[in-house]
Amino acid sequence: MTAIMNLYKIIGLNVTNDIGNSYETKSPYSDKILQDNSEKGISKHHAFTTYIVYIAFENAYYAIHLSESHCASYGGKLCTLGNMSIKQTLYEEAMINLTHVPSTPIDIKFKLYKQYEEEVVYVDNDPNTCVFKFNYDGNDERTPCGFVYVNMELFIPK
């Protein structure tokens, strides 16, 4: 798979909290999933933050979807998976959905892969400033500890 590395401009960001499924644990500091009488994990609803980063290159616009979800490991521990997908979008759709805009212009170099396991994206002219990070499973398939991170200090509410 070949990568296309271009300079993209970040248009803005959409941040929402979505309710998803998770599991009850012994305590907030434990990752051991509680089980019911039939030895199935006790499920619960959990609020997950979802980010959509809108980027542009020439006249093409893309939406980078970043989110997390919970799962159970083989050993009955609560685990996290990072999720990332990229979809082409329309300029009008991006502008309608923005909840945050960059506080200063942000350019990034980004590879348009179809499938990701890990990604770290920095500001193009400042390689010490991370814009967002993603990791699918934390490189641990047995007890995944994936994540997403968006540097909210680079954005202001619209």
φ, ψ at 146 (rounded to 5°): -75, 170
Number of domains in the chain: 1
Domain span holding position 53: 5-157
How far apart, in whole angstroms, are the C-alpha atoms of residue 24 and residue 73? 14
113: burial class by Cβ within 10 Å (0-12, 13-18, 19+)? middle
The DSSP code for 112 is -
Could you tell me if 32 and 26 are in contact, meaning their C-beta atoms sit under 8 angstroms apart? yes
Q: List the chain pLDDT tens, one digit each, 158 residues.
A: 445 568 899 999 999 999 999 999 998 889 999 999 998 999 999 999 999 999 999 999 999 999 999 999 988 999 999 999 999 999 999 999 999 999 999 999 877 665 667 888 999 989 899 999 999 999 888 889 999 999 999 999 99
> Whole-model pTM?
0.89
Beta-sheet strands, E only, within 28-125: 43-57, 60-72, 78-89, 100-102, 107-111, 118-123
